[in-house]
Amino acid sequence: MNRTVQFLIKFFVEAVLFKTKMMYWEYLVAFITMTLDTNAINSVYNATTEHVTSRTKLLISTIIKKQNGCKEEDDESCGAVNTYLDIGEDMNVPDDFTPTELQTGKWWRHLLAGGIAGAVSRTCTAPLDRLKVFLQVNPTRENMAKCLAKMINEGGIGGLWRGNGINVIKIAPESALKFAAYEQVKRLIKGEKNPLEIYERFLAGASAGAISQTVIYPLEVLKTRLALRKTGQYSGIVDAAKKIYAREGLKCFYKGYIPNILGIVPYAGIDLAVYETLKKKYINKYQTNNEQPGMLLLLACGSTSCTLGQVCSYPLALVRTRLQAQEKAAKGAEGTMRGAFREIVQREGLRGLYRGITPNFIKVIPAVSISYVVYEYASRSLGVNMT
């Protein structure tokens, strides 16, 4: 009963803090699951995950240790797989679990913790994200300080968070699709063979990014339009979608799709492959006895992989944003990727292809740091640990 009371308190506190109904069903599932005993959890898990992927298995958290009175340092024989935050395959967890390892039931806790971490991270760095979009779309020579002042003068301090709502909303479908697709492609590539090589990770990560972006792309267009909107232009996400559809039709929700896919492929591939490679090289060289990598290592790997991915894909991201923001192509201008590239180079030179990348770099370390820190605390609050 004490567990139930604690859970209900967390539910109401977090519901007020995050003010989103999208998580309510997850809390309901959590509440129901908490009432089940170990055997019931095991039965439900086996009945609903007959063909569960190794990525899902990896994310599955455990309550068996707590129920068995185990300590964190106890090994897996006490009842559970000890997982940690990652963005792909995990060398410490095999594809096939033992019956004991399958006696888990709260994988959704890691997903929920990741969603909370992403929401907090994006919200904290939203002003930098909007500044980046503003610089990308406006080809003037104004610096960051002047652009920031313009945004504040037009919409006040609150205007710095325009477009953040939909950026948070799309976390769940984007992350779920990306990592599910990543695991499926990875399994298709390797089958029962050894762990993937770096080029295979690149292919799996790029494919996952392309699949997830194809599905959620209309939300990306809405995010850009909302970030650039003027005061009073739209009353909210639904109003923006209706007005944009009425003016430009359904096709407008896929403006910039081609450069987006061409950009997300190298970004996702490099991000995932570099992250995993750096992490594994460190573990193989410096760690023994299946030690979990520490927070600083994860932050360093995540920041490095994000930065490299951005450098390689940024020009395509810039073109994508300009096409997304373009309500109608101006006279004499082509509303195409090629036309946008040509216009940028002619008017701004090659440096114009990297306009707005500075705030993007500035936000990498705080965004990754906040994400991992919040993930750890959210995981602990939900009864699972990051490491």
What are the tens digits of pLDDT across the range 334-381? 578 998 899 999 988 888 899 989 888 888 778 877 877 887 788 778
Please give the Cα distance from 277 to 305 (Å, whole number).
Answer: 10
Q: What is the pLDDT of residue 221?
A: 92
Q: Is the pLDDT of residue 15 over 80?
A: no
Distance CA 77, CA 95 (A): 17
The hierarchical CATH code for the domain 126-365 is 1.50.40.10
Contact present, 224 and 234 (Cβ < 8 Å): no
Check residue 320 and give its pLDDT.
92
- pLDDT for position 116: 84
Mean pLDDT lowest for which of 45-54, 159-168, 270-279?
A: 45-54
Please choose, from the candidates 152, 109, 105, 114, the residue with its C-alpha nearest in 3D space to the C-alpha of residue 131: 152
Residue 246 reports pLDDT greater than 90? yes
Burial class (CB in 10 A: 0-12, 13-18, 19+), 145: exposed
Give the HSE-up count for residue 181: Cα atoms under 13 Å, Cβ half-sphere. Answer: 22
> What confidence score (pLDDT) does residue 328 get?
62
Span 147-170, average pLDDT: 89
Residue 385 pLDDT: 56
**CA-CA-CA-CA dihedral for 152, 153, 155, 161, to nearest 10:** -10
On the question of pLDDT at 90 being above 70, the answer is: no
Q: Which residues of 115-132 are buried (b: 16+ CB within 10 A; e: fewer)?
A: bbbbbbbbbbbbbbbbbb
Report how far residue 326's alpha carbon sits from residue 193's, in angstroms, rounded to the nearest whole number.
47
pLDDT in tens, 183-223: 788 778 877 666 777 678 778 778 887 888 889 999 999 99
Contact 104, 79 (CB under 8 A): no
More confidently predicted of 258 and 280: 258
Rounded Cα–Cα distance for residues 168 and 371 (Å):
13
Listing DSSP states for 176-235 in one string gives HHHHHHHHHHHHHHHTTSSPPPHHHHHHHHHHHHHHHHHHHHHHHHHHHHHHHPPTTS-S
Q: Return the higher-pLDDT residue of 22 and 125.
A: 125
C-beta of residue 226 within 8 angstroms of C-beta of residue 234: yes
The predicted model gives 256-277 an average pLDDT of 81
Q: Is 60 exposed, middle or buried (0-12, 13-18, 19+ CB in 10 A)?
A: buried
Mean pLDDT value of segment 263-281:
78
pLDDT for 199 equals: 76
What value, to the nearest 5°, has the Cα angle with vertex 52 and ends 50 and 56?
150
Condensed to tens digits (0 to 9), the pLDDT of residues 281-339 reads: 877 777 666 666 666 777 777 778 878 888 888 999 899 999 998 876 554 455 789 98
DSSP string, 258-301: HHHHHHHHHHHHHHHHHHHHHHHHHHHHH--TTPPPPHHHHHHH
Residue 147's pLDDT band (cuts 50, 70, 90): confident
Rounded to an integer, the average pLDDT of 262-270 is: 78
Confidence check: pLDDT of 12 > 50 = no
- Helices 126-137 & 198-228 angle (0-180, nearest 10): 80
Average pLDDT estimate for 12-18: 41
What is the residue type of 317?
A: A
The rounded radius of gyration (Å) of the Cα atoms in the chain is 22
pLDDT of residue 167: 87
Neighbours of 101 (CB within 10 A): 19
Q: Is the pLDDT of residue 61 over 70?
A: no
- Which candidate, 84, 80, 86, places its Cα nearest to that of 98? 80
- The arithmetic mean of pLDDT across residues 118-142, rounded, is 86
Q: What is the pLDDT of residues 23-51, one digit of tens each?
A: 433 333 333 333 333 343 343 333 333 33
Residue 203: per-residue pLDDT:
80
Q: How many CA atoms lie within 13 A of 203 on its CB side?
A: 12
- At residue 107, the pLDDT reads 53
The confidence band for 176, taking pLDDT boundaries of 50, 70 and 90, is confident
pLDDT at 174: 79
Per-domain residue ranges of the chain: 2-110, 126-365
At 100 the pLDDT is: 36
Q: What is the pLDDT of residue 272?
A: 72
Pair of tokens at residue 251: 């096709």
